[in-house]
Amino acid sequence: MDTVTPAARLRALLDRPGLHVMPCCFDALSARLIERAGFALTFMSGFAVSAARLALPDVGLASFGEMRDQLRDIAAAVSIPVLADGDTGYGNAVNVKRTVREYARAGAAAVMIEDQVWPKRCGHTRGKQVVAFEEAVARVRAACDARDEGADILILARTDARATHGLEEALRRIRAFDEAGADILFLEGPCDIAEMEAFCRATARPTLANMVEGGDTPLLPPAELEAIGYRIVAYPLTLLSAAVRAMEAALDALARGRTPWPLLLPFSGLQRRLGFPDYDREAARYAVGREGG
């Protein structure tokens, strides 16, 4: 039996030098495909879960319970560490502590807590707001307390203050989150390379870059992100966007009276990705003869 916890796997990964590329998932199947492709970690994106589970925008409509349940299914489907979007913690500092504990029980290696006002918004959309500095730090401190009180999980602290208050306030919050004990730090929405460099210089903790295609932050290749000082790069919408485009193309072909064969996996390949051969091998171990007549 494997006794190494998801958090321990993530800590070991972060102890290694270099940048870790992290495609983001939205359900158990997308997480399984990420692991199958050889990536060492994944992130459960709140934007993508809201889209895939509810067909709704990422504006705080997905509840704590829905996010926790989706996380549980994702974590059960893979052996790689799963980082998970905990939004604002779903309430005050006490609620934040419960969110951290429940995400740890659900199998997360890390939980992200951010400083937006609830209901929050996707970090690369307009209209978001952040709470006051003191409340933001209290959230992160509560999350770290829950970890230190026994929740086996890392704390990923995020600020969205760059868009609302400017870079200096965002960096002030990053330094305060560092002092509060956050394990990983995330400044959302830096607008150029100079701001990305300033963020990575502001802390010795592992830093996360967020590559949103069409978003506010420059899309840089992993080698450049590593040179800047990032330790993790997330691609939160890449798989969701690719899946939507592929499904729409298949639907368009069907609507035109064509079968979209070129877009499809062979049936045998789909079965392999879902684990049919593994299931059949396991079932064969317990097969018994059947009496007829």
pLDDT of residue 120: 80
Rounded mean pLDDT of 62-78? 97
Tell me the pTM. Answer: 0.93
Band of the pLDDT at 123, cuts 50, 70, 90?
Answer: low
pLDDT at 124 over 90: no
Position 25 pLDDT exceeds 90 = yes
130 band by pLDDT with thresholds 50, 70 and 90: very high
For 84, the enclosing helix (H) or strand (E) is strand 82-85
Calculate the CA 226 to chain-centre distance.
19
Q: Mean pLDDT score of the chain, rounded to an integer?
A: 95
Tens digits of per-residue pLDDT, 258-293? 999 988 999 999 999 999 999 999 999 998 876 554
Within 10 A of 178 (CB to CB), how many other CB atoms are there?
Answer: 17
Ranges 1-5, 19-23, 37-41, 80-84: which has the least confidence: 1-5
pLDDT digits (tens, 9 = 90+) for 155-204: 999 999 999 999 999 999 999 999 999 999 999 999 999 999 999 999 99
The dihedrals phi and psi of 222, each to the nearest 5 degrees, come to: -55, -40
Q: What pLDDT, in 10s, does the model give residues 209-265? A: 999 999 889 999 999 999 999 999 999 999 999 999 999 999 999 999 999 998 899
In a 10 Å sphere around its CB, with 0-12 CB exposed, 13-18 middle and 19+ buried, how is residue 195 labelled?
middle
- pLDDT given at position 292: 53
Has domain 6-237 been given CATH number 3.20.20.60? yes
Give the per-residue pLDDT at 118. 85
pLDDT of residue 185: 98
Strand partners, 232: 20, 208
Q: State the burial class of residue 147 (Cβ atoms within 10 Å of its Cβ: 0-12, 13-18, 19+).
A: buried
**24-34: average pLDDT:** 98
* Mean pLDDT across 105-123: 90
pLDDT, residue 293, reads 44
Tell me the pLDDT band of 26, cut-offs 50, 70 and 90. Answer: very high
* Closest to 85 (Cα-Cα) out of 55, 48, 57, 56: 48
Q: What are the CB-based long-range contacts (under 8 Å, 24+) for 269-277? A: 273/29, 273/32, 273/33, 273/36, 274/29
- Of residues 107 and 263, which shows the higher confidence score? 107
Residue 234 has phi, psi (to 5 degrees) of -100, 140
Domain boundaries, the chain: 6-237, 245-285
